Structure 1
Amino acid sequence: MTSAPSGTPAPGARSRRGGRTALRLLNRAGLVVLRRAALLAALLALVFTGVELLPGDAASATAERGESAADLAARRAVLGLDRPVAHRFLDWMTGLPTGDLGTSAHGERITDMVSAAFPNTLLLSGTALLLTLVLALILGCLAALRPEGRLDRTVTGASTAVFAIPEFVVATGLVLVLSLWTGWLPAVTLTDASGTPSSWTMLILPALALTIPQTGWNTRIVRAALADEARAPHVEAAVLDGLPPWRVLVLHMLPGALPSVATGIATSSGVLLGGAVAVETIFNYPGLGSILSSAVADRDTPVIAGVTVLAGAVITAVLLLADAVRDLPAVGRR
């Protein structure tokens, strides 16, 4: 009977060690979910409190012209605004586990409002995220092929500059150049009977407005991650073996840089959802951003909280996926 070589764990020991590692990762993921759920609950409490501090309320903001003070008082009672904000917050939170996000100040079910707009926002943010990933990888890899070269300095400087520009400024510039001056693309989004953009061309400008700043941020992350990998022993050995630079980059540097890239892209997903509020308003895009901006104008706290919950859940899921990608090499080594 052949025994395992000295110093090499037996297959059963490796299996048990891998199982313990996976269990630790699951426990850590559970703790992360609990911490982020607590953070989201605190954020929702701040949302209810912050809207309460704004001038006016949902009853006055959505009132018809000519309504009397008695009408407004009755409307406040119907909306529950005559109750303390803490009671309203706790009542709203009790319905959250069942998916009940409450009713808007206009009498619409918030779950229906959010579920109708979320696919449009997901399409816009997903398109921008995919474009960001592709462009950041291409630009970061091109810059890493010739460190400290002209292209490297140009890409690094340009990525820093575009990242510093807010999305609404980029959106305004794109409308000015690609719509008003050239007429190439529509400046506003028109919807069809299903509530989605009536033409794919109406998605281009909003997606570019979200993509450009985040491409700058992620290009810097890709470039920095590749620079770290370039100092790894196996990469230096590949260079000494005379492999072409592009092969060293693709086969030896890029795989090790992917966990950092995944973390940067996951962070961008939250920024993209936040930037969508301004961008969707500028382009009249029918997504969560438009609902949120209208809800803020109407002081409609349950709608603002509902959008916040959905965005927080999506961001948490993406961050957990990025953590899993980052931890996969460690699981493989064990």
Structure 2
Amino acid sequence: MSESPNPQRAAVMRQCREDRRAMLKRWDESGEALIDHYETETLALRGQLAQLAGSVKRQVQQKCEPLIRQAEERRIEVLSRFDQDKNTPSSARQKDDQAIRQAHHRAAAAIEPLRSWMQQHGTDVGEVREDAAAYGRLELRPPDSIRQSVESMQDLAARIEQLNQELHGLRITRIHDHFWFPIGGVVIGLLLAMLLLFAWGASPVAAGITFVVALVVGIAAHFATIGPLQKKMASHQNHACDLIAAVEHAKAKAMRVSASIHQLEASDLAKKRDKDLAVIDRWLEEQKRAVAAEIEASTKDKQDTLKRKLAELDQTFHQQFESNEDRMRQQADELAMDIQKRLENVS
């Protein structure tokens, strides 16, 4: 036969289980209470630290706003000065450009009548481009600087003017341009016709024929000078082209040197602009750091106090948690021993 259950033992076991559950519940509740308190206090302290940091940040921003405006005004001033200097040539460059224009204007003023004169006499100079080799043919040294280019254009202008004078002074040129042969033919024809009519009693027809023949001879002689004149002009054409090419090269060289100087000036201006802007940026950063350091120093004690409280709270929490764990383990051990005794008494 099976042994009947002991109602008293069953009741004790139920009570023991309830006591054990109650013990575990108290253990959990005590731990959760400590954690809740720790988290609440920690959040409060961290919130105060965050508020303090936000206050510091706002104060720094407020104090830095005038500094930022001042830096921006200085930047605008630097950029404005850079734009003005960039678009305004230096006095030396203005002087050089004026000297280049004046020298080339004088040369151009000498070239134009030379072109016109030679074209009138059957030699077209045409478009002449710059040619450094022309200096070699003229037995001159090519210019390497603005000053040398200006001096070269002045010298070439004088040479072109001299060539103009030489061409105008040619005997064959004077004969051709002043129509000496046609005029001479007319004069001689008139004289011969008058002699035939009045001195020798020739007929008017003979006198007219004589005049026409003299005129034709004069015109023929005039046209006969065209060939030698063109040859003479052609002999000076290469020399004239070399002079013009040298002038154009001197001008181009001067302009290239001037442009190079302008680029160098622009580069120097850009470097100065960047340097000035960098100085402003460094100044602003230094001022910001100084302001931030000053404000942070004024709140350092409060920050340190809050951080110390956080550290103390953390240490206290760990100590209390460990102490609570030890206490609850001790109570659990005592409950286990009590349950064991109660079960032994009803066995």
| TM-score bin (small chain) | under 0.3
Higher relative contact order (CA 8 A, sep 6+): 2
Relative to its length, the structure with more helix (as a share) is 2
TM-score (norm 1): 0.23
TM-score (norm 2): 0.23
Larger radius of gyration: 2
